[in-house]
Structure 1
Amino acid sequence: MRELAEHALTGDERVVPRRTNAPKHCGWCGRRLPEAGNVGRRRRYCGQSCRQRAYERRTALQRSGLPEDAVVLSDTEIAALQDRLFQLRCAAEDIVTAAQDGASTGSCGSSPRRSRPRPRTSNSFADASVRLLSLLVIDNVEVRSSGLLPVGGGHEIYWEESGNPDGIPAVYVHGGPGGGLGSGKYRNKLDPQRFRIIGLDQRGCGRSTPLATAPGYRLEDNTTPALIADLERVREHLHVGEWLLNGVSWGSTLALAYAQDHPARVLGMVLVAVTTTDRSQVDWITETVGAVYPEAWDRLATHAEQAGIGYRRHEGRLIEAYARLMTDPDPKVRDAASLAWMDWEDHHISIGSGQVQPSTGRSDDFRQVFATLVTHYWANDAFLNPPILRRMDRLHDIPATLIHGRRDVSGPALFPWLLHRAWPGSELIIEESEGHGGELMVKAWRSANDRHADRIETR
């Protein structure tokens, strides 16, 4: 599944001017066009779907009185800034209160956007001041150190570290498979004054080498047990005894599998857009959820049927057809399959955001790596035998927070609910208005990390 930390946040939208796309690229999705591509009034498009989306967008901009060369931006950063300003106001009032009478509570009230619990209050003027300074820098957490760690078989795992070197170790497990760390926005989900923040690109993707699409790459060496071993190598390399696991989407599956193999190394877990990637969940996201997006699923199935590999809808597993297509020796076949796959991804994670957001900001390399690894893992039931839900006895003593959107049709709330029911040490938070990510889920994510830090610091 797609990671939400960077790519699946929802909300209203804002616009700012930008230059139009280069004429040799699709004016909607940004894909490079052949010389004989179709020509629109001002832009060229790679197909009727992109042309129609561009027309709808242009019409909406005209109705708003905005120029056609405006670009639609997600409201995520605006919402995050509003939330941060609210926390800053609370922290500033903590300082005033602590300075006046030493009280440990503030009076900032509730956010103008939504009623929510106040951030953790300070116990002194000095503590309040430190918290305020922490909030001022938390959205711009810089990487302190990074490197490539050889893990065998020619693989090197990219890792990075930020935050407080003496803080609580916390590792972020990204989504996908193949999503990578991206721009590093995961770092602002953890207080850099309290946490030693660690991230890594899973083997075959991101800045790890080689990429899963490299010539001669052995996909059989890219499995969940291999990823778990990579995590252990990174932990040992950084001299971490125990760490708090943060996992998003596919990252929640990998975090769970790691914790079941190495429970003594886990301080706790915060999982967002929760999945365990068993056969039933893979069949749901690749087959059943087509009932919600029949047009998009029909395009996905039609492409596989017309690819000449013998697939017929409802007679075989669609995910296995795409796994074959993404390992075809012909690069044109792989590229076309990755485009079809990403169109499906963009649709099934869009519930709750109000519209489909095409993956325009991603390179061809990212698209092909992502589609290759997702189909590879899903076609093989994530290489988990037995499945995670049959090994829950290994997690009974590990505290965890599970955060999920009620409208997440990619992974219905049934899946985290079953996990929660089998896990006495877990709490389940369902955001009723959101899908596979959203600003309320991000706030719950940050808050959960703070609560776990409180628990760990006082144990």
Structure 2
Amino acid sequence: MDKTVGHKSAYAYLYPALDPFDRRMLDVGGGHNVYVEQCGNPNGIPVVVLHGGPGGGCSPAMRRYFDPSIYRIVLFDQRGCGKSRPHASVVANTTWHLVADIELIRQTLGIDDWVVFGGSWGATLALIYAQAYPENVRALVLRGVFLMTQPELDWFYGGGAGRFWPELWDRFASLVPVDERDDFVAAYHRRLFSGDHAEEVKYARAWTAWENALAAIGSDGMTGDAPAEYARAFARLENHYFVNGGFLDKSQQILHPDQIAKIAHIPGVIVQGRYDMICPPDSAHKLSKLWANSHLIMVARAGHALSEPAISAALVHCMDRYNSAQSFTGL
């Protein structure tokens, strides 16, 4: 793999834009309807794309990491975000609901097994799904690994990342009274679920801006205000999951020996930005050491975002390699 990526945008490394051949709303229960789309080759290698957040939703660019003549590309908006409805709802919205939704989508589309492709929270969900249904996963392709652990939350919401971005951390922290600053996730939770829409949007935009500002290695920290309803869904869902520890008990932790054993046979690749401020590389490194059938690609000059050119180049290369060899050997 050529590890030198020039000053191109991420889009330069992607396949051309394409439209879905199938769009649908799927009733997944609990009052939720999930938006699902399919692109590419209806008879191709199935791949399901899991977006980040929780609450980020899919974008048309996510269709373009795969050769559309080879892959049957399945995207969906997780409960409560994107085109799924009800918007910003946390009712019947847990990790295990999302795992069940992925499996229902697979069954509904008549897919035997598929490649699971996810970044950030999408990588978390990909791993948990694979551990729940290992027989249905051909391979895992992960980016910006997040393992849904308390130390990771402490890093990002407890001042660790703020030591590198002190002026932006001050902006995020200053909205919380001093006597509540021992737990910013809980403090924001109270305001994101206050029932006052204006207050919820205010704190949602601050929550979203803190994360967006640190996503790319070349960021100047000036993200602007996210659209109100996007920010409200993103922040409420993300905070809801984090307040609840991802709905994982001790035995369900991704790196628990019993859970790692379930995916030991599944081939996988991990694409990780060396300077990822949101999901630092030690999580990807720990995962790769325990998961014997994985291959870790540490991208030298990249942060967290899918839109990082070197990250996009590496992911497209991995998917091209898999479609030609059905493995990641030789990357």
Change (3 A) 1:11 1:276: farther
Identical positions, percent: 34
Would you say 1:80 and 2:1 are equivalent positions? Answer: no
* Aligned position for 1:355: 220
Q: Is the 8 A contact 2:211 2:278 kept in 1?
A: no
The structure 2 residue matched to 1:340, chosen from 195, 206, 210, is: 206
Give the number of the structure with larger relative contact order, counting CA–CA contacts within 8 Å between residues 6 or more apart. 2
Q: Which amino acid aligns with 2:263?
A: L
Q: Is the 8 A contact 1:420 1:428 kept in 2?
A: yes
Structure 2 length as normaliser, TM-score?
A: 0.91
The structure 2 residue matched to 1:298, chosen from 170, 175, 188, is: 170
Aligned partner of residue 403 in structure 1, secondary structure: strand
Structure 1 length as normaliser, TM-score?
A: 0.66
The structure 2 residue matched to 1:206, chosen from 82, 85, 102, is: 82
1:10-409 matches, within 5 Å, as: 76=9, 80-81=11-12, 83=13, 138-182=15-59, 184-212=60-88, 217=89, 219-287=90-158, 288-305=160-177, 311-313=179-181, 316-350=182-216, 352-359=217-224, 362-385=226-249, 386-390=252-256, 391-409=259-277
Q: Deviations over 1:55-83 (max 9, x none)?
A: xxxxxxxxxxxxxxxxxxxx62xx533x5
Q: Is the 8 A contact 2:168 2:221 kept in 1?
A: no
Q: Is the 8 A contact 1:202 1:208 kept in 2?
A: yes
Would you say 1:426 and 2:294 are equivalent positions? Answer: yes
Q: Which amino acid aligns with 2:51?
A: H
Aligned partner of residue 420 in structure 1, secondary structure: helix
CA distance in 1, matches of 2:110, 2:125: 21
Q: Which amino acid aligns with 1:448?
A: C
Q: Deviations over 1:204-263 (max 9, x none)?
A: 000111112xxxx4x241100000001111111100110001001110001111001000
Q: Please report how far the alpha carbon of residue 151 of structure 1 lies from its aligned counterpart in structure 2 after TM superposition.
A: 0.9
Q: Is the 8 A contact 2:25 2:34 kept in 1?
A: yes
Q: Unaligned regions of 5+ residues in structure 2, if any?
A: none
Change (3 A) 1:344 1:11: farther
Q: Is the 8 A contact 1:293 1:347 kept in 2?
A: no
CA distance in 1, matches of 2:132, 2:315: 24
CA distance in 2, matches of 1:359, 1:332: 18
Change (3 A) 1:266 1:206: same
CA distance in 2, matches of 1:250, 1:166: 28
Q: Is the 8 A contact 2:180 2:187 kept in 1?
A: no
Change (3 A) 1:257 1:359: farther
CA distance in 2, matches of 1:335, 1:299: 16
Q: Please report how far the alpha carbon of residue 357 of structure 1 lies from its aligned counterpart in structure 2 after TM superposition.
A: 4.3
Change (3 A) 1:357 1:192: farther
Change (3 A) 1:250 1:11: farther
Q: Deviations over 1:263-306 (max 9, x none)?
A: 00000011011111211111111112111112222222221217
Q: Deviations over 1:364-383 (max 9, x none)?
A: 11011001111111121111
Change (3 A) 1:209 1:278: same
Q: Is the 8 A contact 1:346 1:359 kept in 2?
A: no
Q: Which amino acid aligns with 1:177?
A: P
CA distance in 2, matches of 1:209, 1:421: 39
Q: Please report how far the alpha carbon of residue 346 of structure 1 lies from its aligned counterpart in structure 2 after TM superposition.
A: 2.7
Change (3 A) 1:328 1:255: same
Q: Which amino acid aligns with 2:246?
A: A
For the pair shown, the structure with the greater C-alpha radius of gyration is 1
- For this pair of structures, how many residues does the alignment match? 316
CA distance in 2, matches of 1:357, 1:435: 16
Aligned partner of residue 285 in structure 2, secondary structure: helix
Q: Is the 8 A contact 2:205 2:228 kept in 1?
A: no
CA distance in 2, matches of 1:342, 1:80: 24
Change (3 A) 1:11 1:370: farther
Q: Deviations over 1:378-410 (max 9, x none)?
A: 121111223111121111000000001101111
CA distance in 2, matches of 1:408, 1:301: 21
Q: Deviations over 1:86-132 (max 9, x none)?
A: xxxxxxxxxxxxxxxxxxxxxxxxxxxxxxxxxxxxxxxxxxxxxxx
Change (3 A) 1:432 1:227: same
RMSD value over aligned CA atoms? 1.9
Q: Deviations over 1:133-162 (max 9, x none)?
A: xxxxx3122210110010111111100001
